[in-house]
Amino acid sequence: MSSSNKPEYVSVTELTKQLKYVVESNALLNNVWVRGEIYNLTYHSSGHIYFTLKDDGAVISAVYFKFANKNLKFRLEEGMSILALGSITVFEKRGSYQINIAAVQQDGAGELQQRIEELKKRLSAEEIFDSIHKKKLPFLPGRIGLVTSPTGAAVKDIIKVALRRYSNIEIIIAPAKVQGDGAAETIVRGIKELNRAEYKIDLIIAGRGGGSFEDLFAFNEETVVRAFFESEVPIISAVGHQIDHPLSDDAADVFAPTPSAAAEMAIPVKEDLVGEINYLYGRIETLIFNKTESYRSRIDNITGRKIFMNPFELTGYRDMILSDIENRLAMEMKEILSVKRRNFMIIPDITKSVRSLVMSKNHQYNLKIQALEKLSPLNVMKRGYSIVTDESGNLIKSVEDVDIDQCIGIKLTDGKVSANVISKIKE
Amino acid sequence: MKKSAEKKSFEDALKELEEIAYRLENGDLGLDESITEFEKGIKLTRFCHDKLEEAERKIEILQKGSDGEVKAKKVAVKDSTGEIEDNNDLQGSLL
């Protein structure tokens, strides 16, 4: 295009001024209530609050100046849905526009928030949130129950993490609606069902993935909060994202920032456990090996001594003395024996000598008998002598032994005679 | 005997194993005691390994039958995504 045909133009500044005028004088863009969720929230040190308001279709920068926000009754939060009263202003230097906020109301949630606060107070008074009611999670849950939507993000996340950590885990899902009408009842039903003994569940994870405040509201419902509290099986509340804290978190034994985190808290990594067992076993094996080795070396130490290595060296000398004595004894013994044997050999035939001894004794005996027979009174009596005794049998050898008229006995060879003494004459 | 083995948890067994290691390391145990402890350790190790294999990989979803009876139905899942492979015939709740 040639310079001679230069069209009419305005500067950027003039154009922006026009825009600013159009925008800022338009009633539709001034003092309007706008609904959206807060993102990129910054509480600046100057006291101004900056954030982005957002909904499904668009975003707009927002500034809430110190003078305007000083009466704000609550703290703005990331993701919070609000109604903001404000006016659009154009920021020439940056070519941008923003909403300059004069007042903020919580969008609907304000009312719900109020209800939650009241419920929280009531349940706190019942000590439902007390730490003394918190059950310890099992160290090794073999069977895990899930109460969540079977088609949601949470169930996938949990199963994925669970199988990665513990390949042979058992999972039982109690399907539940996690948002909208009737969600609370299905969650309560699921928790109660999984508490039945027949399922032998070690741990329950109940929850859902992220969503709006309203989406998560079922986990603030009294029946649901109570079901978490009443669960006999240890239960983890795993709702939404890190920033979400429904009352189920307070009533559960443990709460997790997200469903995946719940699975990580609940399920140990099997390989780690195997490693730990093997490490401990290896340790005790080494210890017992060292122990037995130390005993072995002590034994070696002892058996290594001379007495065990060469016991005969020590006993050898005594052995020599002993065998010397033995030899001497044996020789002496032999000598004694041979002398005795010799003596024995020279004894004549013993029966012969005994017999001759007996015969000679017999002969002597006969001679003595014959002599005795000669001396026997019977022999004397055979020759006509008799034996005279008094009445008591005493021998009468003298006339002095008898008196006249005394009765005396006379023994003959073939009998006895009794007689009276008539007279006695001493010769 | 079997009952007490059932009662014992993996955690208890692991703890006991740790204590045995500690006793063998720091305790002034004689050889006989040491060997007894070691034998206990072997048993506990086996128990722990068995315990880890006790569960059987299984994913089930509870479904309510026409008679109102709740039954567990086995489902297949994709390991990589954790997604349940269903034919859009799974109930969304037990109510």
The ipTM (two decimal places) reads: 0.87
In this structure, the answer to whether residues A146 and A262 fall within a common structural domain is: yes
pLDDT band at A110 (very low <50, low <70, confident <90, very high): low
pLDDT band at A348 (very low <50, low <70, confident <90, very high): low
Q: Is the pLDDT of residue A304 over 80?
A: no
Cα A261 to Cα A242: distance, rounded to the nearest angstrom: 10
Alpha carbon of A147: minimum distance to chain B alpha carbons (Å): 9
Query: Considering only alpha carbons, which residue of chain B is nearest residue A137?
Result: B11
Question: Worst-scoring range by mean pLDDT, A174-178, A352-356, B62-66?
Answer: A352-356
- Which of A240, A268, A296 is at the close of a domain? A268
Task: Kindly state the helix (H) or strand (E) to which residue A72 belongs, with its residue range.
Answer: none
The residue among A101, A84, A87 whose CA lies nearest residue A48 is A101
- For residue A264, list chain B residues with Cβ-Cβ distance below 8 A: none
**Is the CB of A163 less than 8 angstroms away from the CB of B24?**
no
Alpha carbon of A336: minimum distance to chain B alpha carbons (Å): 60
- For residue B72, list chain A residues with Cβ-Cβ distance below 8 A: 172, 199
pLDDT band at A197 (very low <50, low <70, confident <90, very high): very high
In this structure, the answer to whether residues A148 and A260 fall within a common structural domain is: yes
Average pLDDT over residues A153-170: 94
Q: What is the pLDDT of residue B55?
A: 86
Q: A393: domain range?
A: 386-420
Average pLDDT over residues A419-424: 85
In this structure, the answer to whether residues A98 and A149 fall within a common structural domain is: no
Range among A239-248, A347-356, A366-375 rated most confident: A239-248
Instruction: Tell which of A189, A277, A295, A299 to mutate to test the B interface (max B CBs under 10 Å).
Output: A277
In this structure, the answer to whether residues A264 and A406 fall within a common structural domain is: no
Q: What is the pLDDT of residue A48?
A: 94
Alpha carbon of A179: minimum distance to chain B alpha carbons (Å): 12
Between the two ends of chain A, the Cα-to-Cα distance in Å is: 226
Residue A75's domain is classified under what CATH number?
Answer: 2.40.50.140
In this structure, the answer to whether residues A257 and A120 fall within a common structural domain is: yes
The residue among A278, A276, A290 whose CA lies nearest residue B29 is A290
Q: What is the pLDDT of residue A109?
A: 60
Q: Is the pLDDT of residue A359 over 90?
A: no
Q: What is the pLDDT of residue A322?
A: 84
Between the two ends of chain B, the Cα-to-Cα distance in Å is: 44
In this structure, the answer to whether residues A101 and A123 fall within a common structural domain is: no
Burial A250-271 (b: 16+ CB within 10 A, else e): bbbbbbbbbbbbbbbbbbbebe
Cα A318 to Cα A309: distance, rounded to the nearest angstrom: 18
Distances (CA, A) of A2 to A5, A6, A7: 6, 7, 10
In this structure, the answer to whether residues A47 and A22 fall within a common structural domain is: yes
- Which of A57, A92, A107 is at the close of a domain? A107
- Which of A107, A125, A149 is at the close of a domain? A107
In this structure, the answer to whether residues A101 and A218 fall within a common structural domain is: no
Q: Specify the number of domains making up chain A.
A: 3
**Is the CB of B38 less than 8 angstroms away from the CB of A193?**
no
Within a domain: A356: no
Alpha carbon of A244: minimum distance to chain B alpha carbons (Å): 24
- For residue B49, list chain A residues with Cβ-Cβ distance below 8 A: 274, 277
Alpha carbon of A195: minimum distance to chain B alpha carbons (Å): 13
- For residue B9, list chain A residues with Cβ-Cβ distance below 8 A: 138-140
| Contact by Cβ (8 Å): A388, A409 | yes
pLDDT band at A281 (very low <50, low <70, confident <90, very high): very high
Burial A287-307 (b: 16+ CB within 10 A, else e): bbeebeeeeeeeeeeeeeeee
Average pLDDT over residues B61-65: 92
Which has more pLDDT, B91 or A312?
B91
In this structure, the answer to whether residues A57 and A98 fall within a common structural domain is: yes
The residue among A363, A423, A377, A416 whose CA lies nearest residue A393 is A416
Query: Considering only alpha carbons, which residue of chain A is nearest residue B74?
Result: A172
Instruction: Tell which of A288, A290, A299 to mutate to test the B interface (max B CBs under 10 Å).
Output: A288
> What share of chain A in percent tops pLDDT 90?
51
The residue among A225, A245, A204 whose CA lies nearest residue A126 is A225
Q: Is the pLDDT of residue A193 over 90?
A: yes
Query: Considering only alpha carbons, which residue of chain B is nearest residue A187?
Result: B93
Sheet strand arrangement including A415-420: A387-389, A407-412, A415-420
**Is the CB of B57 less than 8 angstroms away from the CB of A156?**
no
pLDDT band at B30 (very low <50, low <70, confident <90, very high): confident
pLDDT band at A294 (very low <50, low <70, confident <90, very high): confident
Chain centre to alpha carbon of residue A237: 31
Within a domain: A293: no
Query: Considering only alpha carbons, which residue of chain A is nearest residue B22?
Result: A284
What mean pLDDT, rounded, does chain A reach? Answer: 87
Within a domain: A277: no
In this structure, the answer to whether residues A222 and A236 fall within a common structural domain is: yes
Range among A88-92, A392-396, A405-409 rated most confident: A88-92
Query: Considering only alpha carbons, which residue of chain B is nearest residue A283?
Result: B21
Which has more pLDDT, B45 or A312?
B45
Q: Is the pLDDT of residue A367 over 60?
A: yes
**Is the CB of A159 less than 8 angstroms away from the CB of B24?**
no
Within a domain: A325: no
In this structure, the answer to whether residues A120 and A250 fall within a common structural domain is: yes
| Contact by Cβ (8 Å): A258, A241 | yes
Which has more pLDDT, A339 or A141?
A141
> What share of chain A in percent tops pLDDT 70?
93
Q: What is the pLDDT of residue A421?
A: 86
For residue B81, give the nearest of A156, A162, A166 by CB distance: A156
